[in-house]
């Protein structure tokens, strides 16, 4: 959680053969998306200001699965109304902000923000990550189902649906355990 960051790796398979690999990451204030066919030929290699902002926004949205991150000193909140709040993440001289929407029980039901869709986009688009179901993981009631949607002029584009089936937190050993 501190410093903020993630590395996501994925493999596209055709039967047992890996035909493409992708890595999306945010580290030290920078984002990068790399996709290679057959692990050899890059077909996408995005970095720069728009990618940094998009990756930072993705990190902010995925904090719902490690909610203690919302307590960090680089996170701030501002009430919008009785069922929504603006959350801002500050990191490496940049900020990413989104609006969180809650239901009557106080559960998060959506995160909406302005995010760059591509590395060469001139303007950010409206991006939404609605939560469609909850489950219990590691003793916490957390989002278990959701999706990500671009709110485009031609209509909504849902590009991923996620179902969390298991979640485990890796924690760093206490300093005295590291000495042993």
pLDDT tens digits, 11-47:
999 999 999 999 999 999 999 999 999 889 999 999 9
**Alpha-helical runs (H) found in the chain:** 49-62, 175-179
Measured CA to CA, the distance from residue 64 to residue 137 in angstroms comes to 12
Asked if residues 3 and 28 have their Cβ atoms less than 8 Å apart, the reply is yes
pLDDT tens digits, 39-80:
899 999 999 999 999 999 999 999 999 999 999 999 999 999
- The pLDDT confidence band at residue 163, using thresholds 50, 70 and 90, is very high
CA-closest candidate to residue 72, choices 3, 147, 142: 3
Distances (CA, A) of 179 to 90, 173, 174, 175, 176: 33, 10, 9, 7, 5
Measured CA to CA, the distance from residue 177 to residue 180 in angstroms comes to 6
pLDDT at residue 115 is higher than 60: yes
Q: What does pTM read for this prediction?
A: 0.88
């Amino acid at each position: 959680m501190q410093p903020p960051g993630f590395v996501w790796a994925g493999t596209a398979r055709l039967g047992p053969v890996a035909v493409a690999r992708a890595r999306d990451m945010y580290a030290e204030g920078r984002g990068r998306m790399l996709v290679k066919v057959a692990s050899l030929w890059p077909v996408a290699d995005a970095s720069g200001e728009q990618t940094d902002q998009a990756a930072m926004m993705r990190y902010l949205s995925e904090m719902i699965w490690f909610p203690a991150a919302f307590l960090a000193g680089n996170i701030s909140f501002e009430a919008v109304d009785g069922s929504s709040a603006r959350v801002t993440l500050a990191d490496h001289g940049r900020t990413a902000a989104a609006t969180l929407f809650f239901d009557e029980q106080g559960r998060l039901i959506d995160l909406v923000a302005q995010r760059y869709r591509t590395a060469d986009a001139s303007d950010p688009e409206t991006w939404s990550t609605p939560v469609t179901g909850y489950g219990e993981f590691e003793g916490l009631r957390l989002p278990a189902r959701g999706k990500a949607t671009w709110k485009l002029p031609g209509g909504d584009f849902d590009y991923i649906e996620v179902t969390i089936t298991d979640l485990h937190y890796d924690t760093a050993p206490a300093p005295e355990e590291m000495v042993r």
